[in-house]
Amino acid sequence: MEKLGPWLSLSFRHLQDHWRAHLVPAAIMAGAVMVLYLVLGVAILAAVLIGAALESEELMIVMVYGLAFLGGIAAMVFFVPLQLGYVRGTLKLLRGETFETGEFMRALPATPMALVMVFLMATVGMIGVMFCYIPGLIWGAMMFFTFPIYADEGGSPIEAMKKSWDMAK
């Protein structure tokens, strides 16, 4: 992943030629995202209806914000290993190997450090956004390759973030 232009060109060319191999893993990802957001949406709607039925705006607000907070944490804990497995499998496809659906489960041991990495990137990004958005956007652009680098090479989150920073420069 030394040179960005050729790497992107090869990736798009590969996707054009092998789109069928990417279809099932992408459907698994889309289905998992849809199920989690559907469950979270129904839970929040139930909280609104319970608050309305009890005529308690305060209870409704507490339940909705509480569910949104817990749902955000659940989404992060649920999506990070799923995304890690998906990126690993996609990189395998790009190298001419096969993407096995078991790749999603093989990503579980690397999940704790990936969660730390996502938390660090999100925290710094949010702090950057508080300074008129531009620093947050720059940070996001510089961290664009962090997740694929971590999925491919492992190591520490800080190493992956440094490599992403160097690539994005």
156 backbone dihedrals φ, ψ, rounded to 5°: -100, 155
Report the pLDDT value the prediction gives residue 150, as an integer from 0 to 100: 93
Tokens 């938390």 — which residue?
Answer: 119
- Kind and range of the H or E element at 144? none
- Alpha-carbon distance of 130 to 93, in angstroms, equals 39
Q: Are 161 and 143 in contact (CB under 8 A)?
A: yes
Q: Tokens for 90?
A: 């996609």
How many angstroms separate the Cα of 36 from the Cα of each of 29, 32, 141, 161? 11, 6, 27, 28
- Alpha-carbon distance of 167 to 142, in angstroms, equals 8
**What pTM did the predictor assign?**
0.75
Question: 38-51, pLDDT tens digit by residue?
Answer: 998 898 888 888 88
Question: 104-142, pLDDT tens digit by residue?
Answer: 888 888 888 998 998 899 889 889 888 888 888 899 899
Report the pLDDT value the prediction gives residue 2, as an integer from 0 to 100: 62
Mean pLDDT of the chain: 87
Q: What is the mean pLDDT of residues 70-90?
A: 87
Question: 9-18, pLDDT tens digit by residue?
Answer: 877 888 888 8
